[in-house]
Amino acid sequence: MPLLNIRNLSVAIPTPDGDVHAVRSVSLEIERGEIHGVIGESGCGKTMTGMAALGLVPKGARIAADRFHFDGEDLRENAARLRGRRIGMISQDPAAALNPVLSIARQMDDVLRAHRDMPRQARHSEAVELLAATGLPDPERVLKSYAHQLSGGMQQRVVIAQALATGADFLIADEPTTALDVSVGAQVLALLRKLVAERGLTVLMITHDMDVIAEACDRATVLYAGLSVETGPVHDVLQRPGHPYARALLAALPDAAPHGAKLEAIEGSIPPPRSQIDGCAFAPRCPQAMPVCALQAPPERTLAAHRWLCHLPEGSA
Amino acid sequence: MSEAPMLEVQDLVIRYRGRGLFAARPKPAVNGASFRLAKGETLGIVGESGSGKTSLLRAILRLLPVESGSVQLDGQDWLTLKRDALRRARQKLGVVSQNPFLSLSPRLTIAEILAEPLLAQGQRSGPDMQKKIAGLLSDCGLPADFLQRRARELSGGQAQRVAIARALALEPGLMIFDEPTSALDVSVQAQILNLLADLKESRGLSMLFVTHNLKVVAHISDSLLVMRRGDVIEYGRTEEIVRAPAQEYTRELLSFGRGTEHPVIHKTALPT
């Protein structure tokens, strides 16, 4: 049974101008011990999906789903209890996640005191051990520091150590390397893979960056306009994308074209978040759209563990 | 090359002051950078935070004093220019920064934003200017009905097009881009990179393109300069550097994520 099991999740946020469909229909199955990438562009609903799993949707938002389970428990009722116990969060900007006026020691201790029943001395050695596990050299010195005295990569390691300190075994990482330099980001991704291998963690990695998916993830799900349109092993999704949007996204990358040649930009823009979508959400921008695409929701295509939604039959790419 | 290069930088050293009167002199932020940018070419400057790429850029914009070295802009000794001469020469430079919403005034319409550089230069507003503004906007791929909108009504890609149009208003010879696509989605980034290629072609622009994303800059630049901790560690034609990077660091940046030989690389083995 998947650790995170989401079937047709939708999140609608009421506004005076009508509902904003932040998430229209997202299905995700994340197995224990994998890093699952959720990839998409601004407005595709990737962050809101993560927030829904944390029980942190905006006030008044309506969540609906056929299934919305974490380890067998319904997240609609239990998200607030699971958050910080089983489910941890790593955000994009570690400097904003850490308190600037408290020492790292105090911030680590706050987490350990809240979540673990341990005497003071044991908490200190646990903090040292966790910081060392995230690859920070000289954890004692880090504990005495304040956030601004650490580099971005070190700050992100502290945030990861804090997430581990809660005892969480499932981490939602929302663009964890976007604020970091490429080489530092690569180290943080390598750390996450090491923690997954050594501690049996499971990670939901939210990103817009195909390179992060290739570097760190086992499987990936592509979101477009609040819909999960493709899912499968990373190798399949990046090498043989089935959905025309996933193909277009890969073709738009600067290294997809020969040096200096024109890139294949995706014309048009995403459907407005308040609109109703009939048929395929990508049809208005799809170079292979057929009349049926605008009328009927696309069926699911399957090739072993690789699934996508499209009216085009398999192998017609 | 008989023609003077658009930009020639020699042994440029930039050093910030140390803290306090008796503090030791800090290591230079840019430690002897030299390069030349031929007319109509694009030079990519790649480096991470602290590499000195922003200091280098600021010195070229004359926003930062230089300790030693020389900068020739279109045959002129750029660092000795003063006051009016400097102001006039600055029109040769167009600048586009990372976040268009910070660089475009939220109060003004797009037409007013595009008129600003022309008015500052002393041109009169009137039908000619309106025509010119509409031309700039359409060159950057936006329809004329955008002229009456304001920046907040635009998407990130549209706003960046307006920022590029504004930078082109005074017909600069050298365009300087500081992370112009880092805040944009992949599909929009492709549109902007295509626009830059078109403008380079149609206007014969020279470009300096600064970014931390080696893959983006390798695609559009003719030559590359890789900086690390103030030093230029690699400089040459883009094809050559991409084919055979001399530095381990450059290789690392190029191989991140989907490499060319191994499309999917994992640092550690997959759990089974």
For domain A1-80+204-255+271-317, give the CATH number: 3.40.50.300
Residue of A156, A202, A211, A213 to mutate for B, most B C-beta atoms under 10 A: A211
**Contact assignment for A183 to B48 by CB distance below 8 Å:** yes
State which H helix or E strand residue A233 sits in.
Answer: strand A227-233
What average pLDDT is seen over chain A? 94
Separation in Å, CA of A238 to nearest CA in chain B: 8
Question: Residues A48-78, buried b or exposed e (16+ Cβ, 10 A)?
Answer: bbbbbbbbebeeebebebeebbbbeeebeeb
A214 interfaces chain B, CB cutoff of 8 Å: yes
- What contacts 24+ positions apart, CB below 8 Å, involve B24-33? B27/B229, B27/B230, B28/B52, B28/B67, B28/B230, B29/B55, B29/B230, B30/B55, B30/B56, B30/B59, B30/B227, B30/B230, B31/B230, B31/B231, B32/B69, B32/B231, B32/B232, B33/B9, B33/B69, B33/B225, B33/B227, B33/B232
Question: A230, A224 in Cβ contact below 8 A?
Answer: no
DSSP label of A57: P
- What is the pTM assigned to this prediction? 0.88
A255 interfaces chain B, CB cutoff of 8 Å: yes
pLDDT of residue A296 exceeding 80? yes
pLDDT of residue A302 exceeding 60? yes
pLDDT of residue A162 exceeding 90? yes
Distances (CA, A) of A311 to A231, A303, B6, B15: 16, 15, 52, 60
In B116-145, the residues whose Cβ lies within 8 Å of chain A are none
**Contact assignment for B189 to A252 by CB distance below 8 Å:** yes
Residue A317: what pLDDT? 53
* Per-residue pLDDT reduced to its tens digit, A52-61: 999 999 999 9
| Continuous H helices in chain A | 46-53, 75-82, 94-97, 104-115, 120-133, 139-144, 152-165, 182-199, 210-216, 234-239, 244-251
CA distance A220 to A223: 10
Q: Where are the domains positioned within chain A?
A: 1-80+204-255+271-317
Distances (CA, A) of B237 to A34, A116, A256, B24: 41, 57, 20, 38
CA distance A98 to A78: 26
B240 interfaces chain A, CB cutoff of 8 Å: no
Closest CA to B147 of B110, B183, B122: B110
B6 interfaces chain A, CB cutoff of 8 Å: no
Per-residue pLDDT band at A316 (split at 50, 70, 90): low
Residue B100: what pLDDT? 92
**Contact assignment for A214 to B49 by CB distance below 8 Å:** no
CA nearest B248 in A: which residue?
A: A183
Q: Show Cβ contacts of residue B127 under 8 Å, excluding neighbours closer than 6 positions.
A: none
DSSP label of B188: H
B257 interfaces chain A, CB cutoff of 8 Å: yes
Q: Is B20 exposed, middle or buried (0-12, 13-18, 19+ CB in 10 A)?
A: exposed
Task: Work out the angle at residue B61's Cα, subtended by the Cα atoms of residues B133 and B108, and round it to the nearest 5 degrees.
Answer: 35
Block mean pLDDT (10 aa), chain B, length 272:
84 88 85 95 92 92 93 92 90 92 94 95 91 95 93 92 96 94 89 93 94 90 94 95 92 77 39 34
CA nearest A153 in B: which residue?
A: B49
Residues of B in contact with A252 (CB under 8 A): 186-187, 189-190
**Contact assignment for B271 to A269 by CB distance below 8 Å:** no
Percent of chain A with pLDDT over 70: 99
Q: Where are the domains positioned within chain B?
A: 1-92+173-272, 102-171
CA nearest A211 in B: which residue?
A: B257
pLDDT of residue A67 exceeding 60? yes
Token reading at A19: 């509902």
**Contact assignment for A211 to B194 by CB distance below 8 Å:** no
B171 interfaces chain A, CB cutoff of 8 Å: no
Q: Is A223 exposed, middle or buried (0-12, 13-18, 19+ CB in 10 A)?
A: buried
Residue B3: what pLDDT? 76
Compute the average pLDDT of residues A253-264. 88
Token reading at A223: 């979101």
Helix (H) and strand (E) counts in chain A: 11, 13
Residue B213: what pLDDT? 87
Per-residue pLDDT band at A214 (split at 50, 70, 90): very high
CA distance A249 to A231: 15
Residues of B in contact with A249 (CB under 8 A): 186-187
* Cβ atoms < 10 Å from Cβ of A183: 15
Phi-psi label, residue B34: left if phi above 0, alpha if psi -120 to 50, beta otherwise: beta
Residue of A156, A191, A236, A255 to mutate for B, most B C-beta atoms under 10 A: A255
Per-residue pLDDT band at A129 (split at 50, 70, 90): very high
A209 interfaces chain B, CB cutoff of 8 Å: yes
Compute the average pLDDT of residues A216-231. 97
Residue A106: what pLDDT? 97
Question: B140, B195 in Cβ contact below 8 A?
Answer: yes
Closest CA to A3 of A80, A90, A73, A81: A73
Tell me which residue in A215, A239, A248 faces B256 most closely, judged by beta carbons: A215
Query: Does the model's ipTM exceed the 0.90 cut?
Result: no
Residue of A259, A264, A267, A269 to mutate for B, most B C-beta atoms under 10 A: A259
Residue B262: what pLDDT? 38
User: Rounded to 5 degrees, what are φ and ψ at A40?
Assistant: 175, 170
Domain range B1-92+173-272, CATH class:
alpha beta
Residues of A in contact with B156 (CB under 8 A): 42
B229 interfaces chain A, CB cutoff of 8 Å: no
A60 interfaces chain B, CB cutoff of 8 Å: no
Residues of B in contact with A189 (CB under 8 A): 267
Tell me which residue in B220, B249, B264 faces A235 most closely, judged by beta carbons: B264
Per-residue pLDDT band at A315 (split at 50, 70, 90): low
Written as one string, the DSSP assignment of A106-153 is HHHHHHHHHH----HHHHHHHHHHHHHHTT-S-HHHHHHS-GGGS-HH
- In 3-state terms, what secondary structure has residue A22? strand
